[in-house]
Amino acid sequence: MNDILSELGWRDLVAQHTPELPEELAKGPVTLYCGFDPTAPSLHMGNLAQIVTMSRFQKLGHTPIALVGGATGLIGDPSGKNAERTLNTTDTVMEWVEGIRKQLEPFFDFSGSNACIMSNNYIWTHDMDVLTYLRDIGKHFSVNRMLDKESVSARLNGAGISYTEFSYQILQSLDFLELYRRHGCTLQIGGSDQWGNITAGTDLVRRVESAQVNGLTTPLVTKADGTKFGKTETGTVWLDPELTSPYEFYQFWINADDRDVQTLLRTFTFRTQEELAALELATAEKPQARDAQRALAHDVTTLVHGEHATAQAKAAAAALFGQGELRELDATTLDSAMREAPNAAVSLNGNAPTVSELLVACELVASNGAGRRAIAEGGVSVNNVKVTDENATVSIDDFLHGKWLVLRRGKRTFGGISLIK
């Protein structure tokens, strides 16, 4: 079944693969896995690239195993790190394991002949004694080859590396061996920074079971300016709506650079080659319409958060710029949107602040005089209602959901006032 390599190929999603992989896929469907370590309470954008890749495999008949690394999460992968990770408690990691398992489930089909399998490498490691680990697993690893791994050699030339993180490669390789034994898994996928760990796993299976298994990596997603994808000024873009709201999530995608949007569409959506070609043409002809970004934001937000959350995020974006009804937004979406805008907090305490004073408070104008002039010129609205009185005031009834006023100056500049109760 070479269709998957063709699919990944035109999407530019193949960084490396073992030489035997095309022949193996030509024989028919395979069982593959990708590991997700619980090093935080939520998955993030880097994980999403691998989730979508595994989903592509499943849609073409292959059986995916979503492995949550309860064991490897207790250790920490040294890849890309300049110093040792802070080790989390077992209770914390196991709590994160359960949360990430629930996050992964909606992305896969758990019915049919190629139903997704959920697993946790803590199952086969927590009872393994140190002598078994050293004699049956460790003896198959060359320290020389482990030292050649880029992330290890970089640490040896810098802050150093503990035996704990140095051993991560052995634990990940053990995963491949166990999944081969338990489920006939013959393929591991991951980001290109995982190539050393993946090939160590293929070597272990070959040495212990005399079996040929394969690896495939996808390119790490970076921005055109060279910065890391999935980061914003406020930090990581998480898949958990409590950590990154659906509105913030939607805005992250819709603000994608024109130089990045085609790569992101190929990587994170299921749109066809013809659909993406049409969007590329639309971007070239009319970039200001941002059709590609709108398609990207809609598809990925829906994939992660569902249609309702996407509709609310779209409605919020429209309403904030005067193209929708603010009072129809739910409190959570409005709160998320306002946190992204310039805002200030006020306490009425019997006073009735003027609109011009509030414009100053959220830094939409420099002074009360400038605020009154903006009102007189017809360029100010409160909750999308134009203000015509230069001395207009607000009351508690004006606050949406009892918390927010949305002020707008002109067509594109808005801010928020939150009510201190």
Rounded Cα–Cα distance for residues 300 and 296 (Å): 6
Rounded Cα–Cα distance for residues 376 and 15 (Å): 59
What percentage of residues in the chain have a pLDDT greater than 70? 97
For residue range 342-391, list pLDDT tens digits in order: 889 998 877 788 999 999 999 999 999 999 999 999 999 999 999 999 99
Q: Give yes or no for residue 332 having a pLDDT over 80.
A: yes
Residue 398 CA from chain centroid, whole number = 36
Q: What per-residue confidence (pLDDT) applies to 82? A: 67
Phi and psi angles of residue 179, each rounded to the nearest 5 degrees, phi first: -70, -30
Query: Residue 286, Cβ neighbours under 10 Å: how many?
Result: 10
Query: Residue 25, Cβ neighbours under 10 Å: how many?
Result: 23
Rounded Cα–Cα distance for residues 143 and 147 (Å): 6
Least confident of 103-112, 140-149, 294-303: 140-149
Contact 174, 134 (CB under 8 A): no
Contact 376, 390 (CB under 8 A): yes
Q: Give yes or no for residue 128 having a pLDDT over 90.
A: yes
**Across all residues in the chain, what is the average pLDDT?**
92
Residue 25 CA from chain centroid, whole number = 29
113 falls in which pLDDT band (50, 70, 90)?
Answer: very high
How many residues are given for the chain?
A: 421
pTM value is: 0.89
Task: Compare 84 and 198 and report the one with higher pLDDT.
Answer: 198
For residue range 255-273, list pLDDT tens digits in order: 999 999 999 999 999 999 9
Query: Residue 386, Cβ neighbours under 10 Å: how many?
Result: 12
Q: What per-residue confidence (pLDDT) applies to 359? A: 94
- The full set of domains in the chain, from first to last, is 3-218 (3.40.50.620), 221-324 (1.10.240.10), 341-421 (3.10.290.10)
- Indicate the residue type of 253: W
Q: Give yes or no for residue 171 having a pLDDT over 80.
A: yes
Task: Compare 183 and 350 and report the one with higher pLDDT.
Answer: 183
Q: What per-residue confidence (pLDDT) applies to 146? A: 86
2 falls in which pLDDT band (50, 70, 90)?
Answer: low
Q: What per-residue confidence (pLDDT) applies to 111? A: 96
Contact 215, 202 (CB under 8 A): yes
Query: Residue 421, Cβ neighbours under 10 Å: how many?
Result: 9
Pairing of strands 404-409, 235-236: unpaired
Rounded Cα–Cα distance for residues 334 and 407 (Å): 13
Tokens (6 digits) for 221: 């997603």
Q: What per-residue confidence (pLDDT) applies to 1? A: 44
276 contact partners, CB below 8 Å, separation of at least 6: 262, 265, 266
Least confident of 14-23, 93-102, 394-403: 394-403
233 falls in which pLDDT band (50, 70, 90)?
Answer: low
Q: Give yes or no for residue 123 having a pLDDT over 90.
A: yes
Task: Compare 323 and 220 and report the one with higher pLDDT.
Answer: 220
Contact 175, 202 (CB under 8 A): no
For 16, what's the count of Cα atoms within 13 Å in the CB-facing half-sphere? 15
Nearest-CA neighbor of 49 among 185, 196, 190, 175?
190
Least confident of 50-59, 83-92, 107-116, 230-239: 230-239
Cα four-point dihedral sign 286, 290, 294, 297: positive
